[in-house]
Amino acid sequence: MIRAILVDDEELSLIPIIEKLKQYEEIEIVKTYTEPTQVLQDLKALSFDVVFVDIEMKKMDGITLSKEILAIHSNVQIVFVTAHSEYAIQAFELNSIDYLLKPVTTKRLDNTIHRLKQHHLLISNQVVNQTHQNQLIVKCFGELVVYYNDHPVSFKTAKVKELFAFFITYRNTYIHRDVMIEKLWPNHDYKKSKIHLHTCLSHLRKMLEQLDPTGDINFKDQHYCLRIQLKSCDAYELYDVVDNLGRVDESNITKLEKAVHLYQEPYLELNGYEWAYEKTQEYHHIIMQLLNEIIQYYEEKDLTKALYYLQFQRKIEPYLDENIKKSMEILLKQNNRSEAIKLYFDYCKLMAEELGLDPSDSIKKVYDSLLTS
């Protein structure tokens, strides 16, 4: 049963919608209101799933009332019933499930009830069937790829995918609508970009309904925030490891090694999102910091592993004099003089061809010591 309340400051306007809703056995009308302020007084004591609300009311408009309702009951669905079409975008931003124009026809109301039933069923199934939860896997290093139950997820359009990537990048953060428009549609007409944003949000919300019934895109004071449960996200895992990094020792070294292997390519590199550049640099800095910690740990414990992670680091950043110097010194400790010399000449060639530079004097000194050893 879907429990509903109705709000319209004109009592005569309530009668037609009440009579129509009575025809649906799935709908239970809990209460009707002609005073929107009274709804707020009753709000904490009320139990309902959907509110049918007029927009133009004298004491409080329906948009404002809906925001107040959602602040207390975030899962309530909003259906706007109004004689005015110009509020559609504002209603859309509130993630209303439907927008009905008066006089409401039975055919049009059928569509609304169908949407309400689908949403109600999804939420009910989520409670009964826990397999709906935590099945999403997001991979961000290299290219954004999303899996649900081990199957890749397809996005409606490239922009919907980019919007999802933007939300994932700024997790649990409310982002102003205009900032999103500026980042995703730079140098485009603002009004058209706003429509594009709302269209992408609509597609993304529909996708979330299928993948995570508990997930949603919250809207508050012109800001959006994605709330979603993930089974895993490589970028989040790497960030969280470094964020909680203390002294590296035998108790956490395995965890750190596992974390660095999540990073194979730069963050969202293949997607080419210009707005992601700063985050790409941030993750580059994080992985380099983490590798330095691991290398330092293994210099005292296991020189072979230290060499492995030095090589791993060079794949990410090949122009590191300190890395080459340290690698050559370790190879010398292992009496692997020929490999140290080969590494030196390979590096000299790389620097000359790619940057037109010579290695640093400190590396040359290590090489000179090879010739006299």
Query: Exposure pattern of 349-364 as b/e (b: 16+ CB <10 Å)?
Result: ebbeeeeeeebeeebe
Cβ burial, residue 34 (10 Å; 0-12/13-18/19+): middle
DSSP string, 107-140: HHHHHHHHHHHHHHHHHHHHHH-GGGSS-EEEE-
> What is the pLDDT, as a whole number, of residue 87?
76
Q: 0.75 exceeded by the pTM? A: no
> What is the pLDDT, as a whole number, of residue 83?
87
Listed as ranges, residues in the chain with pLDDT below 70 are 89, 92-93, 95, 122-134, 373
DSSP string, 208-228: HHHH-TT-EEEEETTEEEEE-
* Kind plus residue range of the DSSP H or E element containing 335: none
**β pairing state of 223-227 and 175-176:** antiparallel
Rg (CA), the chain: 29
Q: In what order do the strands lie in the sheet with 27-33?
A: 27-33, 2-7, 50-53, 77-82, 98-101
Residue showing tokens 């390979």: 346
Q: How big is the CA angle at 243 (ends 241 and 245), to the nearest 5 degrees?
A: 65
Rounded Cα–Cα distance for residues 329 and 369 (Å): 10
CA atoms within 13 A on the CB side of 125: 14
Residues in the chain: 373
Q: For residue 203, what are its two tokens?
A: 């597609």
